[in-house]
Structure 1
Amino acid sequence: MAFPTVRVFESYAATASEAFDAVMLLGDFSRPVPDDFSEFVAQAKQLDQRVGQQALLIPADVAGGRLILAPTGSLSCDYADVRFISDAAGTAARIAQQAGATSVLVVLFGIPSEERYNQAEAVAYWGICQALYEPLEAREFHGEGKLETLTTVGMIGALDEDWFQAVEAGKRVARDLAGTEPERMAPKRFAEYCQQAFAHTPVKVTVIDDLQQLQHEYPLFMAVARASVGVERHHPCVVRLEYKAPAAEQTLLLAGKGVVYDTGGADVKTGGHMAGMSRDKGGAAGVAGFVKTVAEMRPKTLSVVAELGLVRNSIGADAFVSDEIVTGHSGVRVRIGNTDAEGRLVLADLLSHLRVAASNYPRPQLFSVATLTGHAALAKGPYTALVPNGPARANLVAEQLWEAGEQYGDPAEISWLRREDFDMVRPRTKADDTLSSNTGPSATTKRGHQFPMAFLMIAAGLDKHGQDSEQPLPYVHVDIAGSGVEGGDWQHGKPTATPVTCFAGRYLQR
């Protein structure tokens, strides 16, 4: 798994004997430029008014003769955040690669001494890696060495290079799993990728693929899978990832939606809305990516258990349909409102398993991660939506994730669960216990990304573990439908690997 290696130096002078072939000067060019580069920048400004306004490569007496100017713009205004640094680094990295550089030294300057920029160097490195990432299928066809030619990134400061690379390793796993086309990443091939990614690590990988076992233990999940079982290569599976800390004090239990292709099922997607639905596995991908970072960091006090539901929501004579009543793992009877609201069915069974297991672990916190609703993308734009339950709200779980996202360049916004959300999914007859969804698109439904959280709580049995219960379980639903790909382009946009960095920053930073 190739991505640029980080090398850390105490100072710019300490890099003199190193074989870098370009220098990236990254920062706010309205502030003083470091003395080592000020003359080059001043000379360039006399010839080109774009200097300091946009990314440029200028000749200079530095490593490789290439000085790449990467302006962030002002970092002091109220709305500025650390992503300005990530964006500037990514743009400059593409220039470096196109110029033929293979080893770039990054020099940051003019970064305000504010909490929101505490992780500026890390975010710059991850921005470079994001910009230069190439899809798995492309790497397998052309070869990684031909496509990803930048091999080394030098950074200056008291930095933890192992931390930088551990997070990037997780982000790369998440991008690969989320962005790869539906046959290359069909359920069992997704599982095979996980087995390879976690080989020789402390993470235990279990693949549940026996159809009878799945039908018995994951009945809502198997309702979604029903039309796919006639095609062997599309058979569903559940991947369980377990990391046991040697002195565990806290446990994260994560459910990831891994719908490898979402046709909408019997409520088929029309009008071109099916394109890009191979990325509907982004939640499972993000969870697997976070666990990869856990495997690299090997925390001593944090255990992690994840279940990934990998399934294809296919169209066929045996497809599940609206009005069916399916009893989930929790024993809750679910009336199907719309088969294109399949992700919450997948998550409900996974969460129910994690709920049962939670009592075996110290200080459990539960999460579901999914590209769940178009409403989240509409309401939150490019931001992840966090929806906490009562115990999570009491323990500030979402707020702490929000803070980590701000510092590490993986931002989120918090939405609150309300009584109207539970009313939306209430049973209408004595024949069922909850309704999975309304019949319209989430993007045109009031509270379209909040009410699915109410369903998840009921269908997974988590409504019995609220703040007023004997066993409160903090639970946050994480909807990445707006943040999972760059530019909101689900067919062509590059996967962002969210929420790997946010979770890593909150739970793994030393």
Structure 2
Amino acid sequence: MAFPKLTVVKSLSEVSAEQADALILVGNLAAIDDEHYAEYVMSARQTDARIGKQVLLLQHVQAPGHRLILAPTGPLNRDYDDVREIFDAAHKAATIARDAGAIKPVIMLNGIPAEARYQEAELAAYLGACQSLYQGLEAREAVGEDILEPVQQITLVGQQLDAEWAMAVEAGKRVARDLAGTEPERMAPLKFAEYCRQAFAHTAVKVTVKDDVQQLQHEYPLLSAVARASIPVARHRPCVVRLEYQGANPQRTLMFAGKGVVYDTGGADLKTGGHMAGMSRDKGGAAAVAGFVKTVAELQPDDIAVVAELGAVRNSVGADAFVADEIITAHSGKRVRIGNTDAEGRLVMADMLSHLREEAADGKWQQPELFTVATLTGHAALAKGPYTALVPNRQASLADIPQALFAAGERYGDPAEISWARREDYQFVAPRTPADDLLSSNNGPSATTARGHQFPMAFLAISSGLAEHETDSATPLAYVHMDIAGSGVEGGDWQHGKPTAAPVTCLAGRYLRR
């Protein structure tokens, strides 16, 4: 699995002609540190007013490969500026470098303010370039990785970036983008599982795939209901991929349930009017969890354990499809009345979260923190835009888990915003009759439903049994729901946008920074 390898040097003078074939200057171009390049840019600005306003390629005889790429960030002193300005500028510049024929660019930051919000500017530049240069798995398989991704080396002039750590993050993001961005047949459930097996081969991560239909129906009844219409088609049958990593002396255990709906037709509540396009990306939550675990595998931290269950399922429509009004008993024993079959992701995760809840409560794992990660609601995208929505329970809030994730997202350029679970969210999913214990959803779009991305957290807490582990219980458990419907793809384009791998960088910054 190739991606641009990173070398960090202290100064441009350390870079030989053989090591580089383009120089990318990222930052404030009004005051370039290198006097020679500063004079050249000042002169060029006299004849080209675009300099300093947009990313440009100039010819310069002393630049590596005679290529000088100017990547201005614009102002960095405004209240709302953050490290993503550097990410975006490097993203644009890397594309120009590649298209110009460069395969070994050097990135040098210039004029970045010495403020806390830019302390990870070097990492942002590298990850921005890698995001730009990444090409999807199917394209690489069809055309050739070497052809589509010719840039195999990036040199960064920096003072603090740990190259090994940065590459581990990018390795995880690449796994997440591969899994999220593939079409529904290339990454059908069992192929999703096979990719995971290959990604974690020869690592300390144990991969277990549960694919026996009868076992799934018994142990994951809600997940199996979502998959019911897919079971007659062998290649579409569901599975649960379990990933386990244990450090030498774990102080905390991160436990994830990831939504891996490889295609969401909406089921019996069929998506119409063109809204089905892009639903092969509905596996972005499971993809992101696998990506984070890949970064864990690369870094092999001693102080954490990670347990993840990824539900790879196709929500097909057919004669045996589950329908609204059904009452299905979850793994936790809760009786769930189906409100809408297009609210399937929470069903897929509820059973996995219930399994993880049991393990966390019985003391098997040290200091557990539970998460669900999903491309769950249009409401999250509407309410939060390109930010991951964090919805914690009270125990997680008391432990400052969402606050720490928020801070890590700000620092590392993978931002999130916190939403709070309220009594209305629990009331929304409360049972209407004695026949059931809770309702999965209403029958309208989440984007037009008040608190449309918050109430699913309440459903997940109740349906998984986590609601019985609140702060006043004998075994309180911390839980955060992460909705990446707004942050999971570039530009919010779920059919064509490149996956962002959110929240891999945020999680890595919070739990894996050395």
User: TM-score, length-normalised on structure 1?
Assistant: 0.99
2:207 corresponds in structure 1 to 205
Query: Does residue 265 of the first structure (1) align with residue 277 of the second (2)?
Result: no
User: Which amino acid in 1 is paired with 2:111?
Assistant: G
Match of 1:338 among 327, 337, 340: 340
Note the 1:90-109 alignment, pairs <5 A.
Answer: 90-109=91-110
1:14 Cα offset (Å): 1.3
1:445 corresponds in structure 2 to 449
Q: In the TM superposition, what whole-angstrom CA distance separates every residue of 1:82-128 from its partner, at most 9, and x where no partner exists?
A: 11101100101111011100000111011111111111011110000
Question: Which structure 1 residue ranges, 5 or more long, are not aligned?
Answer: none
Contact 2:17/2:64 (<8 A) preserved: no
Give the whole-Å Cα distance in 2 for the aligned partners of 1:124 and 1:253.
Answer: 30
Give the whole-Å Cα distance in 2 for the aligned partners of 1:51 and 1:241.
Answer: 49
Give the whole-Å Cα distance in 1 for the aligned partners of 2:321 and 2:36.
Answer: 66
Q: In the TM superposition, what whole-angstrom CA distance separates every residue of 1:8-59 from its partner, at most 9, and x where no partner exists?
A: 1121111145420000011012344432421221221122111111101111
Give the whole-Å Cα distance in 1 for the aligned partners of 2:413 and 2:58.
Answer: 28
Match of 2:278 among 249, 256, 276: 276
Moved more, 353-362 or 188-197: 353-362
The SS at the match of 1:413 is strand
Match of 1:400 among 385, 398, 404: 404
Contact 1:171/1:500 (<8 A) preserved: yes
Give the whole-Å Cα distance in 2 for the aligned partners of 1:275 and 1:437.
Answer: 22
Note the 1:119-158 alignment, pairs <5 A.
Answer: 119-156=120-157, 157-158=159-160
Moved more, 27-36 or 205-214: 27-36
User: Which amino acid in 1 is paired with 2:414?
Assistant: D
1:222 Cα offset (Å): 0.3
Query: Does residue 328 of the first structure (1) align with residue 334 of the second (2)?
Result: no
Query: Does residue 463 of the first structure (1) align with residue 464 of the second (2)?
Result: no
2:57 corresponds in structure 1 to 57
Query: Does residue 371 of the first structure (1) align with residue 380 of the second (2)?
Result: no
1:172 corresponds in structure 2 to 174
Note the 1:469-488 alignment, pairs <5 A.
Answer: 469-488=473-492
Give the whole-Å Cα distance in 1 for the aligned partners of 2:36 and 2:237.
Answer: 60
User: Which amino acid in 2 is paired with 1:274?
Assistant: M
1:504 corresponds in structure 2 to 508
Give the whole-Å Cα distance in 1 for the aligned partners of 2:291 and 2:17.
Answer: 36
User: TM-score, length-normalised on structure 2?
Assistant: 0.98
Contact 1:34/1:109 (<8 A) preserved: no
Give the whole-Å Cα distance in 2 for the aligned partners of 1:17 and 1:190.
Answer: 42
Q: In the TM superposition, what whole-angstrom CA distance separates every residue of 1:226-247 from its partner, at most 9, and x where no partner exists?
A: 0000000000000000001111
Give the whole-Å Cα distance in 2 for the aligned partners of 1:334 and 1:24.
Answer: 55
2:47 corresponds in structure 1 to 47
Deviating 4+ runs (over 3 angstroms): 30-33
The SS at the match of 1:290 is helix
Give the whole-Å Cα distance in 2 for the aligned partners of 1:116 and 1:19.
Answer: 31
1:10 corresponds in structure 2 to 10
User: Which amino acid in 1 is paired with 2:100?
Assistant: A
1:236 corresponds in structure 2 to 238
The SS at the match of 1:360 is coil
Note the 1:173-188 alignment, pairs <5 A.
Answer: 173-188=175-190
Query: Does residue 84 of the first structure (1) align with residue 85 of the second (2)?
Result: yes
Q: In the TM superposition, what whole-angstrom CA distance separates every residue of 1:442-485 from its partner, at most 9, and x where no partner exists?
A: 00000000000000000000001111111111100000001101
The SS at the match of 2:480 is strand
User: Which amino acid in 2 is paired with 1:23?
Assistant: L
Query: Does residue 191 of the first structure (1) align with residue 190 of the second (2)?
Result: no
Give the whole-Å Cα distance in 2 for the aligned partners of 1:483 and 1:307.
Answer: 21
Note the 1:216-231 alignment, pairs <5 A.
Answer: 216-231=218-233
Match of 1:491 among 492, 495, 504: 495
Contact 1:178/1:282 (<8 A) preserved: yes
User: Which amino acid in 2 is paired with 1:90?
Assistant: H
Q: In the TM superposition, what whole-angstrom CA distance separates every residue of 1:422-446 from its partner, at most 9, and x where no partner exists?
A: 0000001111100000010100000
Question: Which structure 2 residue ranges, 5 or more long, are not aligned?
Answer: none
Query: Does residue 425 of the first structure (1) align with residue 426 of the second (2)?
Result: no
The SS at the match of 2:46 is helix
Contact 2:259/2:349 (<8 A) preserved: yes
Contact 1:10/1:158 (<8 A) preserved: no
Give the whole-Å Cα distance in 1 for the aligned partners of 2:221 and 2:160.
Answer: 51
1:396 Cα offset (Å): 1.0
Give the whole-Å Cα distance in 2 for the aligned partners of 1:35 and 1:242.
Answer: 52
The SS at the match of 1:47 is coil
Give the whole-Å Cα distance in 1 for the aligned partners of 2:29 and 2:101.
Answer: 25
User: Which amino acid in 2 is paired with 1:457?
Assistant: A
RMSD: 0.8
Contact 2:373/2:482 (<8 A) preserved: yes
Query: Does residue 114 of the first structure (1) align with residue 118 of the second (2)?
Result: no
Moved more, 56-65 or 457-466: 56-65
1:248 corresponds in structure 2 to 250
Give the whole-Å Cα distance in 1 for the aligned partners of 2:314 and 2:187.
Answer: 11
Contact 2:31/2:38 (<8 A) preserved: no
Contact 1:23/1:66 (<8 A) preserved: yes
The SS at the match of 1:426 is coil
Give the whole-Å Cα distance in 1 for the aligned partners of 2:376 and 2:303.
Answer: 31
1:391 Cα offset (Å): 0.4
Note the 1:20-35 alignment, pairs <5 A.
Answer: 20-35=20-35
Give the whole-Å Cα distance in 2 for the aligned partners of 1:159 and 1:430.
Answer: 58
The SS at the match of 1:495 is coil
Match of 1:288 among 268, 290, 301: 290
1:63 Cα offset (Å): 1.1
Give the whole-Å Cα distance in 2 for the aligned partners of 1:16 and 1:166.
Answer: 26
Give the whole-Å Cα distance in 2 for the aligned partners of 1:343 and 1:80.
Answer: 34
Q: In the TM superposition, what whole-angstrom CA distance separates every residue of 1:190-224 from its partner, at most 9, and x where no partner exists?
A: 00000000000000000000011101100000000
Aligned residue pairs: how many? 510
Give the whole-Å Cα distance in 2 for the aligned partners of 1:175 and 1:19.
Answer: 28
1:66 corresponds in structure 2 to 67
Contact 2:181/2:280 (<8 A) preserved: yes
The SS at the match of 1:306 is strand
**Identity score, percent:** 66
Q: In the TM superposition, what whole-angstrom CA distance separates every residue of 1:315-368 from its partner, at most 9, and x where no partner exists?
A: 000000001000001011100000000000011001000001112111100000
Give the whole-Å Cα distance in 2 for the aligned partners of 1:379 and 1:154.
Answer: 38
